[in-house]
């Protein structure tokens, strides 16, 4: 009787662990890239709608849309060319924040926004010494911390030569990906970028400062999302090995009881 109890307990623990590992393995995988259009001001990111170009502005805070591009994989396989929805952002300019279903895909995958990281780096304001100089990288500082990083391209100013200058605008988001409910999720990082030809960091700063600081600039963008390694969640293979290890301990215990 003691032998059966010990063996039964070990098998119960092992099967429980295997079941929990199967639940942990049901996570979002794969990389996906997006394309769309947005208007950016000092206090909001307004994503546009109307597929496929997503070029019609929505009401402030309303949902916009994006087009899945590239060759997505994992959970996003075969989604290239489909349209998803993206919520405009009107909350704090940086820092932890929660936007439920910030992104939704046609296959049922959703991304909740959890953080809009501060871009870091030197601040910039109007009056750059050489606004067309290539290599200028700065963060708009007139309205406080910003998630945006501005980077001038080759430039045509006194400190650089090259083709018509461009400015790159970039910001990063942290999101949690899941299907169904967000009780089990996979952390992802997303990087939004755009290149605006014939402009520079000063052009963007001037646009944001227009109309008493309520100005904006609009541009198409691309974004790429990739999973982060979830902390504290064992890999499925590790969980399976742990489960089989417990089965082995059960067999040892069984042999010990027989002796």
| Secondary structure (DSSP) of 14-81 | HHHHHHHHHHHH------EEEEEEEEEESS-EEE-BSTTTT-B---TT-EEEEEEES---GGGTT-TT
Amino acid 41: pLDDT: 86
Q: How far apart are CA 116 and CA 92, in angstroms?
A: 9
Amino acid 128: pLDDT: 76
Interval 38-92: pLDDT, tens: 988 878 898 887 555 555 655 555 678 899 999 999 999 999 999 899 999 987 8
Write down the mean pLDDT value for the chain.
76
Amino acid 162: pLDDT: 57
Amino acid 160: pLDDT: 61
Question: What confidence category does residue 126 fall into, taking pLDDT thresholds of 50, 70 and 90?
Answer: low
Amino acid 164: pLDDT: 65
Question: Which of 44-48, 246-250, 254-258 reaches the highest mean pLDDT?
Answer: 44-48
Q: Of 13-22, 30-39, 181-190, 210-219, give the lowest mean pLDDT range.
A: 13-22
Give long-range contacts, CB 8 A cutoff, 24+ apart: 134-139: 134/159, 134/160, 134/162, 134/165, 135/159, 135/160, 136/200, 136/201, 138/201
Nearest to 42 by CA among 220, 170, 213, 203: 213
Q: Are 154 and 165 in contact (CB under 8 A)?
A: yes
Domain range list for the chain: 27-228, 234-259
Q: Are 195 and 153 in contact (CB under 8 A)?
A: yes
Nearest to 254 by CA among 59, 61, 6: 6
More confident site: 119 or 13: 119
Residue range 122-141: mean pLDDT, rounded = 78
Q: Say if residue 259's pLDDT is above 80.
A: no
In Å, what is the CA distance from 251 to each residue of 222, 232, 236?
A: 55, 29, 23
Model's pTM, two decimal places? 0.75
State the Cα angle at 17 between 13 and 22, rounded to 5°: 150
Q: How far apart are CA 238 and CA 8, in angstroms?
A: 23
Interval 162-190: pLDDT, tens: 556 789 999 999 999 999 989 999 999 99
Question: What confidence category does residue 248 fall into, taking pLDDT thresholds of 50, 70 and 90?
Answer: very low
More confident site: 31 or 200: 31
Interval 17-30: pLDDT, tens: 434 444 444 689 99
């Amino acid at each position: 009787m003691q032998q059966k109890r010990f063996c039964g307990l070990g098998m119960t623990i092992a099967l429980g662990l295997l079941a929990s590992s199967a639940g942990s393995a049901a996570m979002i995988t794969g990389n996906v890239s997006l394309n769309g259009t947005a208007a950016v001001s000092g206090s909001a990111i307004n994503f546009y709608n109307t597929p496929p170009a997503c070029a019609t502005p929505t009401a402030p805070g309303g949902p916009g849309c994006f087009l899945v591009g590239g060759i997505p994989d994992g959970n996003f396989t075969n989604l290239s060319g489909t349209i998803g929805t993206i919520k405009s952002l009107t909350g704090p300019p940086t820092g932890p924040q929660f936007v439920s279903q910030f992104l939704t895909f046609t296959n049922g995958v959703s991304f909740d926004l959890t953080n809009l990281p501060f871009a870091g780096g030197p601040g910039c304001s109007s009056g750059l010494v050489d606004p067309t100089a290539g290599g200028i990288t700065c963060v708009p500082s007139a309205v406080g911390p910003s998630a945006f990083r501005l980077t001038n391209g080759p430039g045509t100013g006194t400190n650089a030569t090259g083709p018509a200058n461009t400015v790159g605008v970039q910001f990063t988001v942290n999101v949690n990906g899941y299907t169904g409910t967000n009780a089990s999720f996979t952390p992802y990082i997303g990087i939004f970028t755009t290149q605006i030809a014939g402009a520079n960091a000063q052009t963007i700063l001037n646009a944001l400062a227009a109309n008493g600081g309520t100005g904006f600039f609009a541009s198409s963008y691309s974004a790429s999302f990739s999973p982060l390694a979830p902390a504290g969640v064992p890999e499925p293979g590790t969980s399976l090995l742990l489960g089989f290890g417990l089965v082995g301990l059960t067999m040892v215990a069984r042999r010990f009881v027989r002796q």
